[in-house]
Amino acid sequence: MVDDRLAAAGRGLGQFTLATLGLVSPFLPFALGIFPRALAPLPHPSARLINAGWFLETYLLVLLVICVVVILATGAADVRNNWMVVWFPLPLYLLLRIKVLTDAGGAKRRLNWFAGALLIVALAVPAGLVGRGFVGPETCRKCNFFVPYSELARSLVVAGFSAGTIVAVDRPNQIAGNLRRYFPHARVISTRWRDYMPPLNAAGQAGEGGKCALIWSGGPSGGGEGRMLVEELRGGIPVPKQTIFRRTTHSLPRNPEKRLSWSFVVLDGEGTCR
């Protein structure tokens, strides 16, 4: 048991390191590559900068210790880069040291190189997004950016849904939030974010109208998590066994050979699924 936890913690520490580097890159390698002396002892900064530096150093060291201790204590093996946003003061700390270094007359010319490198990265991001839009449909794995959500919404409308509650199984694609665009007055619930349960709208609270729609990725035999949630919302009334689940299949834009399928059903409103 202890060995398993240590092995998991080892994987977690590895992911923690990669996630941290991923979050502060490419700023970190640029900063250290262009200003290698920024991490060396600095010449006589002002008291204001010294205090700011001490504060940031303390924050970063305490954060590092807390993260390592938590990973070791819990055996967390999955550490994701989007959790590492707490490292945002690290670039500020490096900029502070770079300022002290350049104010003292060291490597001032390199500021132009540094600014140029950051500008290139800033311009490369939108260019990369445009490129992703062109090649993404042929290379994507989950294809979240290219799912034909408008076609999914049209399928629900054809099946009789116009208002009420939509329960979406948000794996592998996050369907719920994207369908919300096409049904602005509907109540949309995601099985992935069960901690948030949006309230019924005024019509639903009054017990008027409204359908109960369930949609998931894959064939009619799936959607178990969504079915259980629908049953719960319908006051314990299960989805009838004789229910016919519809299936809709659509190809990705600019890649007709890659097709994705979803199954769905539109039920009469019951309980709080209306």
**Is residue 106 very low, low, confident or very high in pLDDT (cuts 50, 70, 90)?**
low
With a cut of 90, say whether residue 152 has pLDDT above it: yes
The mean per-residue pLDDT over the stretch 98-123 comes to 84
DSSP 2-13: HHHHHHHHHHHH
Confidence grade of residue 168 (pLDDT, cut at 50, 70, 90): very high
Q: 115 Cβ partners below 8 Å, 6+ apart? A: none
pLDDT at residue number 200: 86
Instruction: Spell out the domain ranges in the chain.
Output: 2-139, 144-268
**Percentage of the residues of the chain whose pLDDT score is greater than 90:** 37
- Residue 24: pLDDT above 70? yes
Of 62-76, 155-169, 207-221, least confident by mean pLDDT is 207-221
